[in-house]
A and B are shown apart, each in its own frame.
Chain A
Amino acid sequence: MLKYWFAGHLALGLAQAALAASVALVVMFIARRRNIHLEKDISLALIRGIVQITAVGTVLVLLLRGPRWTGGLILLAMIFAAATISARRVRAIPHAWKVSLYGILAGAGSVIALMSLAGVIDSAITALVPVGSMLIANAMNANSVALERFRSDVQAHVGQIEAALALGAVSQVSVFPYAQASFRASIIPAIDNLRSLGIVWIPGLMAGMVLSGSPPVYAAVYQFVVIAMIFSSSSLTCLVSTSLVRQNVFSEADQLLLRSSMQIAQ
């Protein structure tokens, strides 16, 4: 319908964005009626989202014309940004940024490097950056879920953890069950993506490849390749971050640091 009213690409894109944002605003008002106040969060996120993606799109147009090595730089910058965003979710965890950075570097970074060297990801900047960014974004989401789940589980089980410490347990052993649970929770979306591929959703990459003339079967197989890489990079990210985070929630004298201020003041 919009196509009939808006002729140019830019005008059409803006109209589509406005319509999509207005649906989000409707959801926000419904939530507000139920006393769930998300106005500030959703409004800011919508504005940030459109500004960021437009700015990045513009920069990408310039960078994609550059030499191949700039692809690596772009992805590295994305990893730093992903670590920063993920760490903001779990400010209570000491050194959350470092944990997130090492996790995403080890997970998404290593899978991107390995798959590029093997030729699974085309090293041309136009392929490397979009595919790499998908792996990084998913690794970031999984990392946020893992660390947030770990924080909430540890804070909810301070008594059990300190009971173990009080009996002489190794600090990292005392939080091991919570690290395991958070790892499991963090990879559920990646597993579900693999399971539901082609049945519940046909991802954008495949649709794009088909539209741009790739054979549909190859596009389908390559979509599986991408989803499998997302699973590997997200899982590896969370394996590393949940291992590292266990060290960071204890002091040098094996005292649990991740306690609420009320628990600390007791």
Chain B
Amino acid sequence: MTTTLPVLRTERLGRTVGQSVLVSDVTIEVPRGEVLAVVGPSGAGKSSFLRLLNRLDEPTSGSFSIEGRDYKEFPPRELRQSVGLVMQTPFLFPGTVEMNLQFGPAQRGRALGPSEINSLLERVGLLGYEHRDVTTLSGGEAQRVSVARALANDPVLLLLDEPTSALNEEAKMGVEQLLLEIVHASHLTCVVVTHDRAQAARMADRVMVMETGRVQKIGTVAEVFGA
């Protein structure tokens, strides 16, 4: 008998800073290939939850595992390479698009070949942009580069923190469509934080609603938002 381990499993995961409870008692499982949207009002703990999964912040209670391996068993850098994070703001590094794509693999002593660079750029619809200076990119293009930069590490889990909220309407739809195509084509497991319920409904298989750091509701789009 074989059991398929979920890509992400959290067990009463929480983080408290001083008197503030940022995340509390989050227990979920995300199977391979699923897109889970995390929605909720500002200050609900959505981004704080995501930061725990990339270990940018340390959980103060509970635990989580990636493909059955407890997060403490990973050296932090290895965990971060396995769990890609795309932030609300792209925060590209000074230099060219290619230099940004090479950054993650270079951290483990690997250099991407020209065909790998082209493949990544093709996935984000920016073929031919490898020598462009990042200062010349539009907001939407910069966010596409930050998605490609995260994908360059070949993560098993992709975390998207409000990936379109800093973009204008046109760029927003383009990046959202692109993310959907990438996630479905690669059968990538993904946790996306958004304050936009319509976007959550378009992108996700399941939705988790958070408020004051706690999970209020979790289920399919229809179960959470109604038919």
Q: How distant is B191 from chain A, measured CB to nearest CB, in Å?
A: 14
With the chains together, A166 CA to B90 CA distance in Å?
12
Interface contact A168-B78, CB-CB below 8 Å: yes
| Across-interface contacts of B108 in A (CB, < 8 A) | 168
A167 CA / B99 CA spacing, docked (Å)? 13
Contact check, B55 vs A170: say whether CB atoms are below 8 A apart. Answer: no
B56 and A159 contact, CB distance less than 8 A: no
* Size of B's binding interface in residues, CB under 8 A: 30
For A256, the chain B residues whose CB sits under 8 A away are 56
Contact B55 A167 (CB under 8 A): no
Q: Max chain A CB contacts within 10 Å: which of B17, B20, B107, B108?
A: B107
- Across the interface, B81 reaches (CB within 8 A) one of A159, A162, A168, A265, namely A168
Q: How far is the CB of B181 from chain A (nearest CB, A)?
A: 22
Q: In the complex, how many residue pairs between chain A and chain B have their CB atoms under 8 Å apart?
A: 63
Report yes or no: B107 in contact with A163, Cβ–Cβ below 8 A: no
Residues of A within 8 Å of B10, CB to CB, are: none
Measured between alpha carbons, how far is A164 from B17 in the docked complex, in Å? 24
Q: How far is the CB of B62 from chain A (nearest CB, A)?
A: 16
Question: What residues on B are CB-neighbors of A170 within 8 Å?
Answer: 77, 107
From 117 to 134 in chain B, residues with beta carbon under 8 angstroms from any chain A beta carbon are none
Q: Are A167 and B91 in contact (CB under 8 A)?
A: no
Q: Which residue of A lies closest to B80 (CB)?
A: A168
A interface bracket (residues with beta carbon within 8 Å of B): 10 to 19
Q: Report Cα–Cα, A163/B80, bound state, in Å.
A: 10
Binds B, one of A93-101, A127-135, A247-255: A247-255
- Chain A residue with minimal CB distance to B57? A255
Give the complex CA separation of A159 and B17 in angstroms.
20
- Is A35 interfacial (CB 8 A cutoff)? no
Contact B91 A253 (CB under 8 A): no
Q: A163 to chain B: which residues have CB within 8 Å?
A: 87, 90-91, 93, 146
Task: Tell me whether A169 is interfacial, beta carbon within 8 Å.
Answer: yes
Closest chain A residue, CB of each to CB of B22:
A265
Please tell me if the beta carbons of A265 and B17 are within 8 angstroms of each other in the complex: yes
Shortest Cβ gap from A14 to chain B (Å): 50
- Assess the B80–A266 pair: CB atoms within 8 A: no
A160, B56: Cβ atoms under 8 Å? no
Tell me the bound Cα distance from A254 to B74 in angstroms: 12
Nearest CB on A from B136, distance (A): 18
Report the minimal beta-carbon distance from B190 to chain A, rounded to whole angstroms: 15
Cβ contact of B55, chosen from A159, A169, A255, A265, cutoff 8 A: A255
Task: Among B22, B47, B107, point to the contact of A168 (Cβ < 8 A).
Answer: B107
**Separation in Å of the B76 CB from the closest CB of chain A?**
5
- Whether the pair B80, A165 counts as a contact (CB closer than 8 A) is yes
Q: Report the Cα distance A25→B90, complex, angstroms.
A: 49
CB contacts (< 8 Å) of A162 on chain B: these are: 56, 87, 91
A36 at the interface (CB under 8 A from B): no
| Other-chain contact of A167, B20, B89, B153 (Cβ < 8 Å) | B153
Residue contact A167 to B81, C-beta cutoff 8 Å: yes
Interface presence of B150 (CB below 8 A): yes
Segment 227-266 of A: residues with Cβ below 8 Å from B:
251, 253-256, 264-266
A265 CA to B58 CA in the complex, in Å? 13
CB of A167 within 8 A of CB of B87, answer no
B contact residues around A251 at 8 Å (CB): 58
| A159, B57: Cα distance in complex, Å | 14
Contacts of A264 in B (CB 8 A): 17
**Which of chain B's residues 158-190 have a Cβ closer than 8 Å to chain A?**
none
CB pair B56 A165 closer than 8 Å: yes
Residues of A within 8 A of B91 (CB): 159-160, 162-163
Of chain B, the residue at the smallest CB distance from A160 is B91
- In the assembled complex, 16 residue pairs joining A and B whose CB atoms fall closer than 8 Å, in A order, are A159-B89, A162-B87, A162-B91, A166-B54, A167-B80, A167-B104, A167-B150, A167-B153, A168-B77, A168-B108, A253-B55, A253-B58, A255-B58, A256-B56, A265-B17, A265-B20
Closest 5 CB pairs of A and B: A163-B91, A168-B81, A167-B104, A166-B85, A168-B107
Residues of B bordering A, CB below 8 Å: 17, 20, 22, 47-48, 54-58, 76-78, 80-81, 84-85, 87, 89-91, 93, 103-104, 107-108, 146, 149-150, 153
